[in-house]
Structure 1
Amino acid sequence: MFELTVSAIASVSLLTLSLYLFLKRKTAADVALSAVIFLFALIEIADQLSLNLQNNPLFFKRLALFLESMLPAFLMLFTLSHSRWRSVKSISFSWWALTAAALFFPVSALVFPANDFFYSPDLQTEKLLFLGTVGYWFYMGVMIYCVIALIHLEAAFSVTSTSDRWRIKLEVIGVGSILAVMIFYFSQGLLYRSINMNLIPVRSGAFIVAAILVGYSRIFRGNGVRITVSRYVLYRSLSLILVGLYLLFLGLIGEGMRYLGASFSRDIAIFIAFTAGIVMLIILFSERLRRRAKVLINKHFYANKYDYRTEWLNFTTRLTSCRNIADVRDVILSTFRETFGLNGASLYILDDNKKRYAQVANQSMHGEMMDLNASEALISYFRDRDRVFNPFDGEYMPDADEALFIERTGARLLVPLMNNGRIEGIVVFGEQLAEENFIYEDFDLMKTIARHATLALLNFRLSEELAETREVAAVAKISSFVIHDLKNHTTTLSLLLDNARDYLDDPEFQEDMIKSIRNTLTKMKDLIQRLKTVPEKQELNPVHTDINFLAEKTVCEVMKIKPDIKIEYDGTSAVSVVDAVEIRKVILNILLNAVEAVGEDGVISVETGSNGDMTYVRVEDNGCGMTDDFINNHLFKPFRTTKEKGLGIGLYQCRQIVDAHDGRIEVNSAAGKGSVFTVHLPMIKEAEFATG
C-alpha cells in the first residue's frame, strides 16, 4: 500500500508539473521539458498497473516498455531544444545520427516479441524482469541516452552566467535527479541482466523530489533563462567521465559479489550505488570543484591556459546583447568572474564631481560598500606600468585610504579600466572559487578584457549622452517652431498697424482689422493650449480638405492685412486628406516670404490644381530670388536664412509638415529673378471624397 501511495503521488506530481510547464510555455525548451516529464509520469503509471492489476499484468509491462522506448527520442528533443544550433541545417551530423538512432527504440519495441526483451515467471510476486539479449541492449541504449541528456544538462548549466544560475539551479538539479535515478534503475541490467522493479519506490521518491524542485524553481524563481551549449567538449565530457567511473564502480561491486555473498552484496551495492549517484550530482554542481578541474585540465593538457579567440568572441557576443549601460556592467563582472574563477567582483567608475571611484555594480562581494579614493601614486602605477594591482605582492604600497578600502571590501586584485592614460574605472576581484596563483597569461587576459570593457562602457555612456542631447534638441526644435509661429502672428499684427496709419478711418478696414486681430488672438490662444500638452511627435488631424479653398482663404487673409500687394490667384478645386491647420501654416509662410521678397512694387501669383495623383499649390514671386548654393546647401535647414531678422525656421517647419503628409516641396529660383515654390500633396478622387 505504501509503495502504491508513493507512486501515485509521484505520478500526480509529474503530471501536474508537465501541465503547468505546457500552459506557461515560453520557448520550445519548455514544451520539450513538459513532454519528457509527461512521459516519465506515464511510465510510472504503466509500471504500477503491471504490478498491481491481476488481469494481464504483462500487457501493462509491454505498454511501459513502449513508453520507455520513446525516452531516447524525447530526451533528444529536450537536448536539441537547448542546443547552440539556430537552425535545422546547422545541426551536426553526429546529432542527426543520435536522433535517427533514437527512432529505432520504438520500432524495436513494436517489432520484437516481449519474450525477446524480458521474461518473468511471477512478475507481481517477485517483481523481477530477467532480460533477454534484445532487452539487455535495449535498456543499455536507453541508459546511454539518459547519460547524454545528463551530460548536456551539466554543460548547459556550466555556460550559464553566474548571476543567472540561482534561477535555474534547482530546476537543473531536479531534472538531473530524474536522469540520475533512471541511470541507476537501468544500470541493474549491467550488473544482473535483470530489472529489479522492487526499486520503483526509490524511483518514485526521486520523481517527487524532482517535481518539487522544478516546480518551486519555476513558480518562485521565474521561467529560467535562455541556455545555449558551449563548444568546450572536454569540459562537457566531465559528466561522461563521472558516469563512466560510476558504472565501472558498479561493475567492480558486481564482481565482488562472487566472494561476499549475493544477498549481502546486493543490499550494499544498492546503497553504495545510490550514494555514488548523489555524490556525482554534488560534484557536477560544485563551482569550486569545477574550477579546480578546469585549472587541472588547462595545466596538463594545453600549451596555453586560455583559448583567447574563444574568450574574446564570448565577451564580444555577450556585449552585443546589452541594451543599456547597466547590462554592460553586469556582463563585464560576469565575464571576469567566470573567466578567472571568482566568487565575487565589483565595478567602480570614476565620479568626476567627487574625484573618486564609486561602486556602480556588485556581484557577490560581501565586503563593505565604500568609494575608492585613489591616490596619484596608484593612478601613476596603473598608467605608467600598465599593471594589475595585487595588494599582497609588495610591488606597490597603498596609502591609508587605499589600505582601508582593500581591508573593508575584501579586494584581492584591482584591474584598471584605462583609456588614453585616464583610469575610467576599476574592477575589484573578490575571493577565488579555488585558490590558484595567477600567472602572466591571466594578467594579459585581464588587461585585454579590461581594455575592451572600457571601450564598451565609454560607447554606452556616449550613446546615453547623445540620447540626452537629442531630447534637448527636440525641445529646441519645438521651441523654434513656436517662436516662428509667434513671429508670423506678430508679422500679421505689424502689417495691420502699418496699414492703420493710412486706412484707420475706413469703416471696411476697421471691420477687417477687428476680424484679423480676433483671428490672430484665437490662433495664439490655440498655440498656448498646444504648448501645455506638447506630444513627443507632431500629431496630425487629417480631414478631407479642398486645397483650393484653403489657399484662397489664406490669400484673402494676407490681402486684407497687406492690401497694397498685388496677388494674382488662379485656382482649381483639388481635394486631399490633410491637417488643414498645418497646411495653412505652410501656405501662409510661403506667402509671407513672398511678400517680404517682392517689396511694395512686386507681383505674387498663386495657383492651385492637380497633376496626376497629386494636388499642388504654387506660389511665384518676382522678388530677389536665391542662389543655387543657398538652395542646395541651406534651404530647408534650421537657422539658415537670407533675411536680416529671420530665424531660418519657417521653411524647415514647412518641409517637416509636408513630409508628414507624404508630400514634397519643389523650389525653382535664381538670384534677382524671383522664386517659385510648389507644394505637392496626395490627392483623392472626387468619388472617394463624395463617399467619405
Structure 2
Amino acid sequence: MISPNYFDPVSSLFSLAGILCCLALVTVLLIRDRRPGANRLLIAGLTILALEETAILLGARDLLPTEALVLQRARWLTAAFLPGIWLWFSTSFARTPREASRWGDRWPVVLAFALPISTAVLGNQQLFGSVLFLPESGSWVFPLAWAGKIFFSIFLLGCVAILVNLEKALLASTGRQTWQVKFLIFGVGLIFAVRIYTVSQTLLYSALDTQLAAVNSSALVIGCLLSGLALRRSGFILPQVYLSRSVISGSITAGAVGVYLLAVALLAKAVRMWDPTRRLRLDAFLVFLTLCVLAILLKSDRLNRLLKQIVTTHFHRPSYDYRTVWHDFTRRTASILDEREFARATVRLLSETLGMLSVTIWLYQEHQERLVLAGSTTGSSEESLQPLPASLVRDLGKLPQERSEPLDLLARNSHYSEFHDKYCQSLSDHRARYCLQLVACKTPVGLLTLGDRVAYESLTCEDLGLIQTVADQAAATLLNFRVLERVRQAHEQEALQNMAAFLVHDLKNLASTLSLTVQNLPIHFGNPQFREQSIRTIAQTVERMQTMCNRLSVVRGGIELHPEQTDLNTLLGA
C-alpha cells in the first residue's frame, strides 16, 4: 500500500507546544512542590498527556496505514490512564486527606482505571476496524470496532466525572482560595471539556478523525497556560480545597454535559440534512473556548461586584430613602461646630440607619502620631479605649487596591493580607469588622470602623454605597473643622500680636513716666507738691499695670464661645 505524502504542520505545532507546556509544568512542580498527594497526581497526569501528544506528533508525518493504526492503538492505550489519574487528582484535590482515603470515595477511581485500561489492553486489536485516508483533508479516519465504541463510551463518562469533581472544588473555594485555584480548575476543565467534544464526535460518527487531535492539542496548550497562571498565583505550590456538604449535595456539570450532547446530536442531524458533505470540526471547539472564557469572567470577583452594583443602581428598588437619610444627617450636624460632637452625631446616624451596634470614628492627630477616639456608639470613653497607631491610616492608603469602600477584616484577600495580619487583632479588640479611612482632598482625616450588624447580615452594595457617601461627607466636614480651627488660631495669634504691641507701647509710656519721676526726685524731693504728685503717679502706674495683668489672665485661660439666640435686627440697630 502506498504511503500518503502529507505533513500537517499546524497539528505538529500544537502537539509540540502541548508537550513543552506539560513538561514545563512538571519541572516546576518537581522543583517547587514535592508534597505527596494531589501534587504527584498532577505531575502524573501531565506526563501522560505529554506522552499522548508525542504519539500524535509521530503520527503527523508520512506513514503507512499499518503504521498509523499502530500509533493510534499506542496513543489510546496511553490515554486509557487519563480518566483514572485525573479523576483521582480531582477527588484528592477537592477533599480532605481523610475523606479521600475512604473506600466509598475510592471505588470510582478504581473503575476509572480498570475499565478503560482493560478495554484498551484486551481489545487493542478491536479498537478500530480499518484505516482510511482522506486526501482532500489530509487526515486519517479510523472506523470504530466494538471495543472502540466501548472504550470511548467509558472514556466519555470518565471525562464527565472529572468535570463534576472540578466543579465541586470550584464551588467550595472562597475568597483568596478562589483567586488561587480558579485558573487551575478552568485549565484542567477546558482540557476535558474539549475531550468530551472530540470523544462525542467520535462516537457520533463511529469513526476517529485525526483532525480532532489538533483540537485536543490546542486545548491542552490553553489549559497548561491557565494552570501555570494558577500555580504562579499560589507561589507554584498546589493549593488545597476542602468541600462542604452543601457543595457535595449537587452538581450541574452532569446536566450541562447531557444538554451539550443532546445539542450536538441535534446540530449534527440538522447539518446533515442541510449539507451532507459538511462535518462539525472547530465550530464546537470555539463554542467550548468561548464558554471557558465566559466561565472565567463570571467567576471574577471584580466583575461580579460590578454587575451587582449596576443591577442595584439601575434595576433594583433602593432599600433606603436617601432624601430622608440625607435630610436627617443635615439636620443633626448643621449647627455643630465641634469635631467630636460631629463625630458622635455621625456614628449615631450610621448605627441607627444600618442597624449596627458598634460604629466608631477615630481622628488622626498629626502631632501625636496616633488615632484618638472622637465618637462611638459602644458607650466607651476615650480613656477606656487605647488609641490606634497612626500608621494604620497610612498603611490603609498604601494598599494595592484603592480603598473607596469599607475593608472587611474577616475576608482574607491577597491584596491586603499583610495589613490584615498587622492590624486585625487591634481592630477586633475595638469590636471592628469593617474599616474605612476618612480622606478629604487626599488628606487623611481619620478612620471609620464598623462592627457586625444586629442580625449578623452581610453588607449589600447599597449599604456600602451609603457608608462611603456618609464617610466622604464626614471627612470633608472634619477637614473643614480643622481648617477653621487653624484659621481661628491664626486670628488669635494675630490678635495676640496686636495686643502685645499695645501692651509694649503702654509699658514704654509707664516706664517713661517712672523714669522722669525718678530723675526729678533728688532735685525736688523737698517740695511737698512734687512728693504728692510723685506718689499719685506711682499709684496710677501700679493700677494700670494691675489692669493689664488682669486682662492678660483672661487671654491665658483661653477664649470660649457661648452662642446664644438673639435678634439680628436688634444687634444691627445697636
TM-score by length of 2: 0.51
- Among 368, 387, 410, the alignment partner of 1:332 is 410
How many angstroms apart in 2 are the aligned matches of 1:140 and 1:203? 17
- Among 129, 134, 140, the alignment partner of 1:127 is 140
- Among 63, 87, 93, the alignment partner of 1:82 is 93
How many angstroms apart in 2 are the aligned matches of 1:391 and 1:62? 57
Name 1:287's counterpart in structure 2: 299
Q: What is the SS of the residue equivalent to 2:239?
A: coil
- Among 256, 262, 270, the alignment partner of 1:242 is 256
Letter in 2 for 1:332: L
Deviation (angstroms), 1:52: 2.1
Q: Spell out, residue by residue over 1:495-546, the C-alpha distance to the aligned partner (whole angstroms, 9 max, x if none).
A: xxxxxxxxxxxxxxxxxxxxxxxxxxxxxxxxxxxxxxxxxxxxxxxxxxxx
Name 2:160's counterpart in structure 1: 147
Deviation (angstroms), 1:95: 4.2
> Are residues 1:7 and 2:15 paired?
yes
How many angstroms apart in 1 are the aligned matches of 2:469 and 2:53? 66
> Are residues 1:36 and 2:45 paired?
yes
* Overall identity of the aligned pairs, in %: 22
Name 1:658's counterpart in structure 2: none
Equivalent residue runs for 1:554-569 within 5 Å: none
Could you tell which deviates more after superposition, 29-38 or 204-213?
A: 204-213
Name 1:672's counterpart in structure 2: none
How many angstroms apart in 2 are the aligned matches of 1:12 and 1:172? 20
Name 1:685's counterpart in structure 2: none
Equivalent residue runs for 1:27-106 within 5 Å: 27=35, 28-52=37-61, 54=63, 56-87=67-98, 91=102, 93=104, 95-106=106-117
Equivalent residue runs for 1:397-476 within 5 Å: 404=473
> Are residues 1:253 and 2:267 paired?
yes
- Paired residues of 2:88 and 2:109 also in contact (CA < 8 A): no
Could you tell which deviates more after superposition, 3-12 or 151-160?
A: 3-12
- Paired residues of 1:358 and 1:372 also in contact (CA < 8 A): no
How many angstroms apart in 2 are the aligned matches of 1:91 and 1:189? 35
Letter in 1 for 2:193: A
Deviation (angstroms), 1:240: 2.0
Letter in 2 for 1:260: W
- Paired residues of 1:356 and 1:372 also in contact (CA < 8 A): no
Q: What is the SS of the residue equivalent to 1:262?
A: coil
Letter in 2 for 1:47: I
Deviation (angstroms), 1:398: 9.2
- Paired residues of 2:177 and 2:241 also in contact (CA < 8 A): no
Deviation (angstroms), 1:331: 8.0
Deviation (angstroms), 1:218: 2.4
Equivalent residue runs for 1:528-567 within 5 Å: none
TM-score by length of 1: 0.43
Letter in 2 for 1:248: L
Letter in 2 for 1:39: I
How many angstroms apart in 2 are the aligned matches of 1:42 and 1:12? 11
Deviation (angstroms), 1:181: 2.0
- Paired residues of 2:95 and 2:243 also in contact (CA < 8 A): yes
Name 1:25's counterpart in structure 2: 33
Letter in 1 for 2:289: I
Name 2:177's counterpart in structure 1: 164
- Paired residues of 2:133 and 2:139 also in contact (CA < 8 A): yes
Structure of higher RCO (CA pairs closer than 8 Å, 6+ residues apart): 2
Q: What is the SS of the residue equivalent to 1:332?
A: coil
Letter in 2 for 1:258: R
Name 2:289's counterpart in structure 1: 278
- Paired residues of 2:159 and 2:196 also in contact (CA < 8 A): yes
How many angstroms apart in 1 are the aligned matches of 2:230 and 2:247? 28
Letter in 2 for 1:404: Q
Structure-2 change in CA distance of 1:291 and 1:252 (3 Å): farther
Equivalent residue runs for 1:209-608 within 5 Å: 209-219=222-232, 221-222=234-235, 223-232=237-246, 236-264=250-278, 266=279, 269-282=280-293, 284-285=295-296, 286-287=298-299, 332-333=410-411, 404=473
- Paired residues of 2:19 and 2:54 also in contact (CA < 8 A): yes
- Paired residues of 1:356 and 1:373 also in contact (CA < 8 A): no
Q: Spell out, residue by residue over 1:465-524, the C-alpha distance to the aligned partner (whole angstroms, 9 max, x if none).
A: xxxxxxxxxxxxxxxxxxxxxxxxxxxxxxxxxxxxxxxxxxxxxxxxxxxxxxxxxxxx
Q: Spell out, residue by residue over 1:602-658, the C-alpha distance to the aligned partner (whole angstroms, 9 max, x if none).
A: xxxxxxxxxxxxxxxxxxxxxxxxxxxxxxxxxxxxxxxxxxxxxxxxxxxxxxxxx
The number of aligned residues is: 346
Letter in 2 for 1:218: L
Deviation (angstroms), 1:37: 0.9
Superposition RMSD in Å:
4.5
How many angstroms apart in 1 are the aligned matches of 2:469 and 2:99? 60
Letter in 1 for 2:114: L
Structure-2 change in CA distance of 1:97 and 1:49 (3 Å): same
- Paired residues of 2:59 and 2:68 also in contact (CA < 8 A): yes
How many angstroms apart in 2 are the aligned matches of 1:356 and 1:368? 26
Structure-2 change in CA distance of 1:331 and 1:155 (3 Å): farther
How many angstroms apart in 1 are the aligned matches of 2:40 and 2:89? 9
- Paired residues of 1:330 and 1:361 also in contact (CA < 8 A): no
Letter in 1 for 2:410: I
Letter in 2 for 1:189: T
Deviation (angstroms), 1:69: 1.3
Deviation (angstroms), 1:242: 1.8
How many angstroms apart in 2 are the aligned matches of 1:348 and 1:404? 26
Structure-2 change in CA distance of 1:254 and 1:220 (3 Å): same
How many angstroms apart in 2 are the aligned matches of 1:256 and 1:244? 18
- Paired residues of 1:357 and 1:372 also in contact (CA < 8 A): no
How many angstroms apart in 1 are the aligned matches of 2:16 and 2:24? 12
Q: What is the SS of the residue equivalent to 2:63?
A: coil
Deviation (angstroms), 1:39: 0.5
Letter in 1 for 2:473: L
> Are residues 1:178 and 2:247 paired?
no
Q: What is the SS of the residue equivalent to 2:241?
A: coil
Q: Spell out, residue by residue over 1:70-118, the C-alpha distance to the aligned partner (whole angstroms, 9 max, x if none).
A: 1122122212321424337852536414523531211221212423444
Structure 1 unmatched ranges of 5 or more: 296-328, 336-346, 409-692
- Among 126, 130, 136, the alignment partner of 2:149 is 136
Q: What is the SS of the residue equivalent to 2:13?
A: helix
Letter in 2 for 1:227: V
- Paired residues of 2:100 and 2:106 also in contact (CA < 8 A): no
Structure-2 change in CA distance of 1:399 and 1:47 (3 Å): closer
How many angstroms apart in 2 are the aligned matches of 1:67 and 1:7? 15
How many angstroms apart in 1 are the aligned matches of 2:86 and 2:30? 16
- Paired residues of 1:171 and 1:217 also in contact (CA < 8 A): yes
Q: Spell out, residue by residue over 1:540-592, the C-alpha distance to the aligned partner (whole angstroms, 9 max, x if none).
A: xxxxxxxxxxxxxxxxxxxxxxxxxxxxxxxxxxxxxxxxxxxxxxxxxxxxx
Q: What is the SS of the residue equivalent to 1:127?
A: strand
Deviation (angstroms), 1:173: 2.3
Deviation (angstroms), 1:368: 11
- Paired residues of 2:436 and 2:448 also in contact (CA < 8 A): no
Deviation (angstroms), 1:132: 1.8
Structure-2 change in CA distance of 1:392 and 1:92 (3 Å): same
How many angstroms apart in 2 are the aligned matches of 1:233 and 1:358? 27
Q: Spell out, residue by residue over 1:135-185, the C-alpha distance to the aligned partner (whole angstroms, 9 max, x if none).
A: 122112112211211221122122122123222333222222222222222
- Paired residues of 1:161 and 1:334 also in contact (CA < 8 A): no
Q: What is the SS of the residue equivalent to 2:258?
A: helix
- Paired residues of 2:25 and 2:224 also in contact (CA < 8 A): yes
- Among 115, 118, 127, the alignment partner of 1:107 is 118
Q: What is the SS of the residue equivalent to 1:195?
A: strand
Name 1:303's counterpart in structure 2: none
Structure-2 change in CA distance of 1:217 and 1:283 (3 Å): closer
Structure-2 change in CA distance of 1:234 and 1:277 (3 Å): farther
Q: What is the SS of the residue equivalent to 1:187?
A: helix
